[in-house]
Structure 1
Amino acid sequence: MANLPNYAVSPGEHIQEWLDDRHLNAAELARRLGVTPKHVSELLSGKAPLSAKLALGLERVTGTPARLWNSIEAGYREDLARLAEEESLVQQYDQAKQFPLAYLRKWGYISATSRDKAGTVRELLSIFRIGNLNSFDATWAHSKVAYRKATLNGDKTFERATWLALGEQAAAIEELPEFDRKQLEAMVTDLRSLTANPNPVVAIAEAQAMLRNVGVGLCLVPPIPGFGVHGATRWILGRPIVQLSVRGKKDDQLWFTLFHELGHVLLHDHNSIFMQGSGSREEFEADVYAATTLVPDEYRDRLPANRNIRTVRELAKELGVAPSIVLGQTQKATGDFAWGHELKVTLEWDMGSK
């Protein structure tokens, strides 16, 4: 859009040039076209549209093909609409400032600068897939769509909606195959083994590919400052979308959140949206699913009761999971979180390829 002119040239201006070059006036053109002088006057001023019928007449009078006159007219109307839209977008900028624009620019979801008000609003509308910010409330905050109904009301409405919308965009839902529950259940053990990879960023990318093959969209969207959420799950077009915020930047939290969300996929209603932190029964059940999937019940009595790094490592090796996962389960069981930090891997994300 930056390379387009901020003006529109009507067919009438081209017609006027033709008249001037031949020292003809509007009255003469009206006589040749068989229309009223008023119609020609309005055509020359850009007030009257150039009809396809009149374009054929101009072809005979001027020698310029009708298709070129029609093209000029179409371009003129498009430019008028674009200029009118630019003004409308600028007027919506105050509404746009309610959204986390600094965050969206930081992570490259919006490329327009703060000076480019129209461009900022245009890109924001694309994220939410709406034509006007006045449609946001009905489409997102008070949507009738099942997977948007919950969790958007409150003082973080714009942050929540933005984060979820980015997840929809990243999940490429239309490209997902049909969801296959049995295949997902069968691959849980393989997914768990990925946690032992010393490079969790590479491992989570592998998990994305595996889940995509069974119709589960897994997407990573950076956390929005002030909006504390680790993950969310909802169903769109019959496919589960699992969204992680990579909040916390440690591998144990990443993996626990993933299995927590997969718990929602396998255990809960497909017409709801689940976001961690609600304190609901479903959230508790998803926590239990994640904990017992990563460290099955028959191993839980072997979690160390004290700060025993060696036992943590040995049990993790036997289970085929990351030591940080066993550490996290141990810390939660004992309430002692002040040790073993060397077992946790700090994640380094490159969201440029989001």
Structure 2
Amino acid sequence: MTTTTPNYIVTTGDFIAEWMEDEGINAAELARRLDVTRKHVSELLSGKAPLSHPLALALERVTGVPARIWNQYESGYRSDLARVQETRELEAQYEQAKAFPLSYLRKWGYVTASARERADTVRQLLGVLGVASLSAFETTWAEGSVAYRRAAVGREHAPAIATWLALAERHHDELNELPAFDRSALETQLPGLRALTSGEVLEAIDDAVERLREVGIVLCFIPAVPGLGIHGATRWLNGRPIIQLSLRGKTDDQVWFTLFHELGHVVLHGGKELYLNGDLTRAEEEADAFASNVLIPPQFVPRLPRTRDIAGVLALAKELGTAPSIVLGRAQRETGDYAWGHSLKRKIEFRTATPAS
């Protein structure tokens, strides 16, 4: 939500001066009545001197206006001063903020301020990142105690990666409502999760979210940042895994494979690491193998079609209880022939501007 800062500030002294005018009292007389110096009254009227609580009580006795009202005037004035100063500081950070994917954040409604509203743009970006300033972002993500954050900012496209990861952290409040992570329960759930792939895609995804919650895993979907090239990520927060998928590719076989890939990290690796789908590491290779073997167990691999055999894909998918697109995708990878069977793949689109888990 965009906020508007007024271009003028009403000081507590303005309200005092208004009372003085109504009563026909000058500054010298008010100083005598308050038992303070004329200089203090002058600074109070100009807003230079703060209104103390004892002086608010004295004003109550002199003016008949309750001290709480004078304190409210003072609090509002000081708040306005701070807001004006904050606006200047936020505007000064705008050039630095442009390193982050602002157009992406606007597209999905995470930032509603326009490019002309520089202070509000930076303010909303900081809200996404969960920091008070961009210098605080640098120290929090590069030097803080959370290992996966440090790993994120050490990469190419660090601002985009950090933004994408930070959006998923909005789900961290749910962690308190989740049971402790249960690895054996997750492994028991894997066949049922695989069976979900054959159902209606969006309903199956919702079901997967709930099933994973039961074993202490947060699964959320955050739109892909253009140019980032990341399908999914896994890391641990407060002892529980958070898996986020980008729906990059937007077909059901890719989304399901990425989910089981990330679950491979949860089962095989764990710990405090950040796993980004697409990295060229041994852990990524192991997660790929895990996903491949769970979705299509090794004993079924020799039965994958080696030609453009739609009927063979459908038959094997039915026997496995999986989506035909998953069998097709595996057959395509095995043969290197990707130019067929596209009608078996179902497209997935985000349903809301700010998707939630």
Corresponding pairs, count: 353
Please, which moves more after superposition, 37-46 or 295-304? 295-304
> Are 1:245 and 2:246 counterparts?
yes
* SS at 1:235 equivalent: strand
Cα deviation digits, residues 97-151 of structure 1 (max 9, x gap) = 1111111111111111111101100000011111111122222245442122324
How far, CA to CA, are the matches of 2:314 and 2:306 in structure 1?
A: 14
Structure 2 residue aligned with 1:30: 31
State the shift of 1:183 in Å.
Answer: 2.1
How far, CA to CA, are the matches of 2:142 and 2:340 in structure 1?
A: 42
How far, CA to CA, are the matches of 1:287 and 1:86 in structure 2?
A: 47
Percent identity of equivalent pairs: 54
Structure 1 residue aligned with 2:121: 120
Check whether the contact 1:240–1:265 (CA below 8 A) recurs between aligned residues: yes
How far, CA to CA, are the matches of 2:283 and 2:155 in structure 1?
A: 21
What pairs up with 1:228-267 in 2 under 5 angstroms? Answer: 228-267=229-268
State the shift of 1:180 in Å.
Answer: 2.2
What pairs up with 1:99-138 in 2 under 5 angstroms? Answer: 99-138=100-139
* SS at 1:241 equivalent: strand
Structure 1 residue aligned with 2:183: 181
* SS at 1:40 equivalent: helix
What is the identity, as a one-letter code, of the residue corresponding to 1:222? P
What pairs up with 1:34-45 in 2 under 5 angstroms? Answer: 34-45=35-46
Cα deviation digits, residues 13-67 of structure 1 (max 9, x gap) = 1111111111111111111111111111111111111111011110010000111
How far, CA to CA, are the matches of 2:219 and 2:7 in structure 1?
A: 42
How far, CA to CA, are the matches of 2:129 and 2:202 in structure 1?
A: 28
What is the identity, as a one-letter code, of the residue corresponding to 2:20? L
Check whether the contact 2:313–2:324 (CA below 8 A) recurs between aligned residues: yes
What is the identity, as a one-letter code, of the residue corresponding to 1:272? E
Structure 2 residue aligned with 1:194: 196
* SS at 1:61 equivalent: helix
How far, CA to CA, are the matches of 1:151 and 1:8 in structure 2?
A: 42
Please, which moves more after superposition, 132-141 or 105-114? 132-141
How far, CA to CA, are the matches of 1:116 and 1:92 in structure 2?
A: 12
Cα deviation digits, residues 299-336 of structure 1 (max 9, x gap) = 11211222211111011011110001011111111222
What pairs up with 1:1-354 in 2 under 5 angstroms? Answer: 2-170=3-171, 172-177=173-178, 178-197=180-199, 199-354=200-355
Q: Summarize the Cα distance change of 1:174–1:42 in structure 2 as closer, same or farther, 3 Å threshold.
A: farther
Where do 5+ consecutive residues of structure 2 fail to align?
A: none
How far, CA to CA, are the matches of 2:334 and 2:174 in structure 1?
A: 38
What is the identity, as a one-letter code, of the residue corresponding to 2:296? V
How far, CA to CA, are the matches of 2:34 and 2:153 in structure 1?
A: 61
Check whether the contact 1:234–1:272 (CA below 8 A) recurs between aligned residues: yes
Check whether the contact 2:5–2:83 (CA below 8 A) recurs between aligned residues: no
State the shift of 1:6 in Å.
Answer: 3.0
State the shift of 1:202 in Å.
Answer: 2.3
Please, which moves more after superposition, 164-173 or 39-48? 164-173
